[in-house]
Amino acid sequence: MSIGHTLLGLLESGPRHGYDLKRAFDEKFGHDRPLHYGQVYSTMSRLLKHGLVEVDGIEAGGGPERKRYAITEAGITDVERWLATPEKPEPYLQSALYTKVVLALLTHRDAADILDTQRSEHLRSMRILTDRKRKGDLADQLICDHALFHLEADLRWLELTAARLDKLREAVTR
């Protein structure tokens, strides 16, 4: 996810302070990985340097001055371009799990155990996501569906690999 583009998009509804941007980000996108304040301010500094945002006002308070940021026309154009650009599908050709299975076979360990352990972990994660989806709002349901579909694909791969372990062992130990 592009943090900069996400913050720019949040600014399109109106100027905000860094604290407000962090709160909005965490509420909409950061359930599982909240944004750190330092990341907000370093990103805003970079966006300011590139002319994608401007300081709309500065408020003095009991602590440090609070800058209010507003998106510029260049920032709006940048967000529009980012939204229109499709994300590159990730084919997962450098999977750590695949590497573990092959290394287990190469070192004469039980690759089936690795697959079984991973299957259990995937199923555990799927139960947690399914429960979260059941309790969540539409946005949370959609993000859980996204993750569940990926986990389902992984499970299919685990089953296929388990069924082909003997052939894979032959292929990698020649």
Per-residue pLDDT tens digits for 33-89:
889 999 999 999 999 999 999 999 988 777 777 899 999 999 999 999 999 998 887
* Strands annotated E in 51-144: 53-59, 66-71
pTM for the whole structure: 0.72
pLDDT at 154: 94
Higher pLDDT pick, 66 / 21: 21
CA distance 150 to 156: 10
Average pLDDT over residues 132-157: 94
Question: How many CB atoms neighbour CB 4 within 10 A?
Answer: 19
Residue 1 pLDDT > 80: no
pLDDT at 153: 94
pLDDT at 60: 78
Residue 29 one-letter amino acid: F
User: Model confidence over 97-130: pLDDT tens digits?
Assistant: 999 999 999 999 999 999 999 999 999 999 999 9
Least confident interval from 77-91, 137-151, 152-166: 77-91
The pLDDT confidence band at residue 142, using thresholds 50, 70 and 90, is very high
Give the DSSP H/E element, type plus range, for residue 68. strand 66-71
pLDDT at 93: 66
Least confident interval from 55-64, 131-140, 152-161: 55-64
The answer to whether 10 and 24 are in contact (CB under 8 A) is yes
CA distance 39 to 18: 10
pLDDT at 46: 97
DSSP three-state, residue 56: strand
